[in-house]
Each structure stands twice: as structure tokens, then as C-alpha cells.
Structure 1
Amino acid sequence: MLRLTQFLKQKETSNDLIELINLLMSACKEVDSKLQNGDLEGILGSAELENVQGEVQKKLDVIANDIVKLTLQQSKLVRGMASEEEDHSVAANPEGKYLVTFDPLDGSSNIDVNVSVGTIFSILRAPEDLVGCNDEAFLQAGNTQVAAGYVLYGPSCLLVLTTGEGVNIFTLGHNGEFYLTRENVRIPDTTQEFAINMSNQRFWEQPIRDYVDDLLLGEEGPRGKRYNMRWVASMVAEVHRILTRGGVFMYPWDSREPHKPGKLRLMYEGNPMSMLVEQAGGRSTNTKIEIMNVDPESIHERTAVILGSREEVDTVMDYHQKAR
């Protein structure tokens, strides 16, 4: 089996990008170790703090954020970073050529019940005229990403990665090395599986309500087939299932906070997951345009997300088009 570094070299990935990806993986391996020990280290439960989003942080949110942040700050390649858990961007090396955005522990509400969580990351080029580091430097559309991926902390620890040439999956071995275990992952175009939080149904826009209502009618409805529903409340787990066997994941706009375009974060979740899904042959949209074509206005900007098997996402868009 090919090790991560060997595989990236075969793909003629630049040495700098290989070094940065390996650095990120060293941080993720430390996070994985903390998760494996769990309550033995007293790291479960709430930190009794709120992040910039107004969400109560788990202890491991804070720990994972510090691990990734401190690791990246040591690199000569990183100009700065932006995290879901930080109010503003964090400077690193003034000469660094890359910017990194990350969600240090996606799905952290699942930690205390021992369900899969993960770290999501996106790598951007630092603007050539950038002096120091500021929030504005990160306001790049998702289609400018150099690389994106996530580490899924589950029964096995997996890295799912794209550098713009397909999606590949690596498994962490007992020796601390990531090995290639699935190459050129492709999402099936069709599916009979969807993921959405049904408890929010009364807050959705009508097109999403109509679409889900038709799915629930199964063979007797307009779709003519039976659908299964899944919901893990961990985006890394939801997207990983889609990359593995297809499906559609939806976190649409809802009326509880009508001034916000959605709940998920564009820079830390929407863009990197969209890059992975599109590189695997799927589609990702905010119901108006492709997510990676959005020009962000702030590092903590939110977005609606519909992503997964191409034909199913196209169908969701058809429902919206008919309602306009």
C-alpha cells in the first residue's frame, strides 16, 4: 500500500503542499489520540464557553482547535489560519504562501455519545500582495481552493483528500502512517437515500418541504421508488456516507433565523465539502448557485447546503426552479 507522502509525490504534488498536508495530519493524529482516550483524560463534556457563532463549546472543541492552531503556527508555509472557533483569523509566518481554514471538530455534539466526528480543512493560496494576515485575505471563492479534505475519527481514522485531481481515502495504520485504501472515489449519480434533520421541517422553504414529502411517498409518489433517511448530525459522517455509497445531504435555509442564508459555515464546511463532492462527480449548491462560486463576505459566513449524488441534487433544484 502507498503511504500518503508516496501517493502525493506520484501525483506530482508540490513539496510544499505535501509538507503542509503532512503537518495537518500530525495535528489530526494528536486529536485522534485524545478522542481514543475520551473520558480517561477528562476531556468530555462542555467547556462552558461560547464560540463566535454563539454555540456552547465542548472541551474537545477547544482542545482540537488549540492543537491544529499551534501546529500550523509553527510552519514556515502558513501565512495564517481561520477557524470556526476563533473570532478572527490567526497569523502564523509572515512569509508563508498558504492560508488554512478549518473546523477543528465537526459534529462535536456527538462526542459524549461516542459517535463519529471529524476535522475539516481547506487550503488556499495567500494573496501575493498580502502583508501580515487579515480576515479579508481568506475571502476567496471555493473554486480557488488548492486542496480540501477531512479526517474522520470513527471505528478507523480516515483521511479523505483532494488536491484538485479526484478524491482519495487514506487509513491511519497502527504505525502512525496514512495508507491509500481507496483511489479515485466516485459518487453514484442516482440514489435512494437522503439525509436531513426532519425536526426542522416546519421551518423549511416550501420547495424543500415538497421534495421531502414526495420522497416519503416512496413507490406511490412521483419519484417512483422508496427512499431511506439517515441523520448523524455530523457533516463529516454524512458526507463520508455519500462518498462511499451515494445519497443527498441537505441543511437548507430555515425561517428561525431568516436573516442568515443557512446554518453551516461556508469557509469551514461548505467549500471544502463541496470541493470533495464535486471532485467525486457529485454536485453542491445553496439552492441558488453552486457553493464554490459564492464570493464570501466574512470568514464566518453561513450557507445553505444541498450536496451529493448529481441527479438527486438536480431534482432538488428542479423543485426550487418550479417555485420561482
Structure 2
Amino acid sequence: MNDIIEAIKKASIEIKKVIDKGDTGKSENENSTGDTQLKLDIASDIIIENIFKEIPSIKEIVSEEQEAIVPLHEDGEYLIAYDPLDGSSLVDVNLSVGSIYGIYKDDFTSKNIIAAIYVVFGPRIEMVVAAEGSVKMYRLNGGIFHYVQDIKLDFKGNLNATGSTQMFWPTEHKKLLKEMFDEGYYLRYSGGMVPDLHQILLKGGGLFSYPATTDRPKGKLRQLFEVFPFAFVYELAGGAATDGFKRVLEVETTHIHDTTPCFFGSKSEVEKVKEVYKQYAS
């Protein structure tokens, strides 16, 4: 596992260089779900794949930006699903973005995720590693990632970050948010999954949600690259993650690019999600 962590550190330093060059233009390509790929997405994907090719312990990789699983080393032990640069369109307005990595064994399913790592590219470059029973944060300084702290969520927080388009929210989601804001929760939403989830983790707790909507009944966020890694992080940090009814890490995967509704947060907020959504279950 250490070789993978070191590879991600190396890739992150190279991705930061690409971000600093500032080429935020669109390419002529689309990813598997029809989103136009930015040049930053493609460049970041190439950096990560080339570095992972050098790691013998990695058996297979799959990127959000690619259609299929890429075999690397037949005798490798680990499978890695990753989003090279989540929220890349936010670079154009100088907001934080990030990379997300889910590390699996045997196959790409929720029950087989064994570690998760994400990197935030903002005013500071920070890497969070969820593995071996703890969630640890590191910060890049002088070309080296230095340990900063372990991360633990409080039982209840006060932040609320909710995605998707409001006109498509189901009734239960509108009710959930109204009740939370009536209770005094603060809205904190940048449109970037990585920085918003990172903020909730560092500020002690709250809720991040990307629900099922009338236009996207299976949600928008992808299981292997985004949802399962952050579910693993949040559970290990003492929080929870649900699809509205059950634990996210019990959601079934039928295709590598499957999506799912998702809610991440402190245990109190996730329980509230399930209570409200249960009222509307058919």
C-alpha cells in the first residue's frame, strides 16, 4: 500500500503543475457519461495512469475518464478506481478541485474497497488517506507531504452542502433541507465534491448530499470513483454514508460507471436523512 500512496503523492505534484499552467479549455472528447472532457481532465488522467503503470502491486485501474478497465500487472494485488480531477471546471474560476482514489481487492465492488485517498488542490495541497483503521491528513510543503492530523467527525455537525438542481429535487429532499435549515445549519456549497466533503470533515461534521432527482433518478455521482471512496473515508472517520435508505457500501454495482444517490456526514445527520426519506418510501 505504501507504494501506491507514494505514487499518488508523485502524481499530485505533477497534476499541480498542470493546473498551474492554466489550460482550462475543452477537448473534443466526451467521457463515458457524456460530459465534455476538459484538457485538464485528460492531462491528469494520463499522469496518473503512467505513474500507476510503474507500480507492480497494481493489477488493474479504471478511470472516470475512460470507458473500460485497464489491466496493468497480472500478479498485482490491488485494483484502483479514480477520478483524476473532480470538479475540474472550477479551476477556471480559481476554486478548489481534487483527485479521488478508491483502492479495491478482487473486484470493483463496494464490499471490496479496502482504502481510499483524496487530494485537495486549493490554496494548499492536502492529501487524506483512509486506511488501516484511521483517516490521516498530509499537507504538501517543500515538495514533501507532511503529516498534519488524524481526522474524526463529531456525532453532529452544523454544515449543509447539497448538490443537484433544486427544480428537480424530490419532495423528501426539500423537506429534509428545510428542517435542517430551520434547525440552524449553515449552507456551505462550492459545487466541488472534494472541497465540500473535505470542509465537513475538517469542521467536525454536517451533511453533503447529492440525491436522486426527477431528471437523474439514480443520482449523478459515480459509485467506484467518487461515492464508495468517500463513504469509506467518512465511515472510518466516525461518520456514515447512505443512499437515503441503506448504507452506501452495501449498494450493488452492475457496471463500472454506475451512479447512485448519496449522503455523507456525521451520524446524526445521516440518521435524519434516513428518517425523512423513510416517510416517503413507496
TM range (shorter): over 0.9
Structure 2: which 5+ runs fail to align?
none
Answer yes or no: is 1:26 the counterpart of 2:6.
Answer: no
Return the TM-score normalized by structure 2: 0.95
Answer yes or no: is 1:254 the counterpart of 2:213.
Answer: yes
After superposing on structure 2, the runs of 4+ consecutive aligned residues of structure 1 that deviate more than 6 Å are none
Q: 2-side partners of 1:292 and 1:283: how far apart?
A: 10
SS in structure 2 of the partner of residue 167 of structure 1: strand
Preserved contact between residue 161 and residue 209 of structure 2 (Cα < 8 Å): yes
Q: 2-side partners of 1:323 and 1:44: how far apart?
A: 42
Residue 257 of structure 1: CA displacement? 3.2
Instruction: Give 1:267-282 correspondences, 5 Å limit.
Output: 267-282=224-239
Instruction: Report the equivalent of 1:210.
Output: 175
Residue 47 of structure 1: CA displacement? 1.5
Equivalenced residue count is: 280
Cα RMSD for the two superposed structures: 1.3
Residue 202 of structure 1: CA displacement? 2.4
Instruction: Give 1:154-233 correspondences, 5 Å limit.
Output: 154-174=122-142, 176-183=143-150, 185-197=151-163, 200-216=165-181, 218=182, 225-233=183-191
Preserved contact between residue 116 and residue 153 of structure 1 (Cα < 8 Å): yes
Residue 212 of structure 1: CA displacement? 1.3
Instruction: Give 1:34-183 correspondences, 5 Å limit.
Output: 34-35=18-19, 37-39=20-22, 43-125=23-105, 127=106, 137-138=107-108, 140-141=109-110, 143-174=111-142, 176-183=143-150
SS in structure 1 of the partner of residue 153 of structure 2: coil
Instruction: Report the equivalent of 1:7.
Output: none
Q: 1-side partners of 2:55 and 2:138: how far apart?
A: 23
Which amino acid in the other structure matches residue 175 of structure 2?
Answer: D
Which amino acid in the other structure matches residue 202 of structure 1?
Answer: M
Instruction: Report the equivalent of 2:247.
Output: 290
SS in structure 2 of the partner of residue 32 of structure 1: helix
Residue 230 of structure 1: CA displacement? 1.5
Residue 281 of structure 1: CA displacement? 0.7
Preserved contact between residue 164 and residue 279 of structure 1 (Cα < 8 Å): no
Q: 1-side partners of 2:241 and 2:84: how far apart?
A: 22
Higher strand share: 2
Residue 227 of structure 1: CA displacement? 1.9
Instruction: Report the equivalent of 1:299.
Output: 256
Which amino acid in the other structure matches residue 210 of structure 1?
Answer: K
Residues 83-125 of structure 1 deviation map (CA, whole Å, 9 limit, x = unaligned):
1000001111111111111000011120111110011001112
Which amino acid in the other structure matches residue 29 of structure 1?
Answer: I
Q: 1-side partners of 2:73 and 2:30: how far apart?
A: 28
Preserved contact between residue 287 and residue 317 of structure 1 (Cα < 8 Å): yes
Q: 2-side partners of 1:244 and 1:233: how far apart?
A: 18
Preserved contact between residue 48 and residue 56 of structure 1 (Cα < 8 Å): yes
Please tell me whether Structure 1 or Structure 2 has the larger radius of gyration of its CA atoms. Answer: 1
Which amino acid in the other structure matches residue 181 of structure 1?
Answer: V
SS in structure 1 of the partner of residue 29 of structure 2: strand
Q: 1-side partners of 2:8 and 2:245: how far apart?
A: 33
SS in structure 1 of the partner of residue 134 of structure 2: coil
Which amino acid in the other structure matches residue 243 of structure 1?
Answer: L
Answer yes or no: is 1:317 the counterpart of 2:274.
Answer: yes
SS in structure 1 of the partner of residue 271 of structure 2: helix
Q: 2-side partners of 1:120 and 1:299: how far apart?
A: 15
Structure 1: which 5+ runs fail to align?
1-16, 128-136, 219-224
Residue 180 of structure 1: CA displacement? 0.6
Q: 1-side partners of 2:88 and 2:26: how far apart?
A: 10
Residues 114-160 of structure 1 deviation map (CA, whole Å, 9 limit, x = unaligned):
110011001112x3xxxxxxxxx42x22x422210101111111110
SS in structure 1 of the partner of residue 95 of structure 2: coil
Residue 201 of structure 1: CA displacement? 2.0
Residue 280 of structure 1: CA displacement? 0.7
